[in-house]
Structure 1
Amino acid sequence: KTGQQQQTLAMTGENDPFQRGLQALFKAYFYKEPDGNRLLDEEVLEVLAEDLEMVPQLLLWDEFWGEFRQAVDPKRAKKGRISFDDFKKGLRRVAVLEFQKKRYRNAYLSFDQRFAALCEFLEARDVEAVRKRCTRAEQIMARKAAAAAPVQRKEEVVREEREEEQETFDQRVERKLQERKLQQQEEKRLAALAKEEEEALAQAQQSSPEADVSTRSSSGGSATRHHHHHHHH
């Protein structure tokens, strides 16, 4: 056997960091159904491919999916399920495709190294560490689970969310009402002022013409001075 094959065989040991890393990734990304099977979800797989920097840097999603899918057992694929073995085979196929595409040098040789490095980076012995990297996958599954749930359940969730928001919503309403109140008070005040001025003016016009004249030329002196000027001209 060649060194390469022996190296690959050595890597199939359950306790090998590479294997543990792959298992941790598999468990973290692929949702476990009540019957123990893992769900093969395209959207989740695409997230995984992006997280591994295989898509879109090295392959387009369609290429990745087209190649990966062929490694999944057809019966399982039909049910939208995936096994760990399918997962490993799928990634190997993708690695070979990368190499054939020659998107970057030594893609095939670097496949194991790349995963070994990734697993170390994720501290793969700790599945939780991997989980932290997989929140997007979990969000997708949560969203899909909620969408698939009976309508009544959805309404409950919406009600709960509304109740959580309720406080801030009420506060917001309260603030708007206060602002509105203050605005109305200000408008009233201005309207009252305008009315007062109008009434004062109306009052002045209603009073006798003489009074009106006297108010206009209260400084009689200036009026006579004006006449003086005319005189000189």
Structure 2
Amino acid sequence: MVTNRKKFQGVLNILSFNRHFYVIGLLVLAIALTVILLLKLPTIIVWITISAFVYGLVTPLLVSAYVYDFSGYYSFKWLQPHINDNASVKKIVNINAGFDETSFILQTKFPTSEIKVFDFYNKKQHTEPAIVRARNVSLTYPNTKQITTNKIPLKDHSTDLVFLLSAAHEIRNNKEKETFLKECKRICKPEGKIIMVEHLRDIPNFLAFSIGFTHFFSRKTWKNAFKNAGFSKIEEVKFTPFMSVFNCSN
């Protein structure tokens, strides 16, 4: 069981999984500087170009370090306001998209609970290089089961908590999101809830990730998806300016 994270593990993961973006970025910077020098453009253009690329390449790493290494995300203290009594939670489902850094930690937070882990990664649909690399280094929680987003192999009303931790945005199609969330609702007990944590397609994440913020979805998109899936109570609380915790129940 591994629950202790290495120093700067979060930002190192981001750098490792998305290294193709950094290689491409540095190549484009080199080409841009070559063109500027050949055209003998003013020095200020050189510095503006360098500054823009440094901002675009370094800022995501700084924000990722803040969110994943220094904010307490993996301590799960942010979860306390959403759960009245850990001991009353008997059955937990944790669903990931092929990269699981939370199931072992959840087991320590809920030692008397039964935890089932599902992975909805589909190599035909989820083709981003970052996901493929993440799967190669991810620890697998015992008895993790591969599923599709339209079928969770559990009985109706059997689960107290469903966790979707930085995973659901990998479902790119809105209809597929709704189908998946309907399945999550189906397996929840009447008093059960879904806890989802996601970056949003908003101003803070645009400033952090520039064009990369389009990989995430807006607050409106998520709330519509939950509403269309049948959830009547949808609460959002900011966890750092860059992430949101959605607490959704019947």
* TM bucket normalised to smaller: under 0.3
**Which one has a bigger Cα radius of gyration?**
1
Task: Tell me: higher relative CO, structure 1 or 2? Use CA pairs within 8 A at least 6 residues apart.
Answer: 1
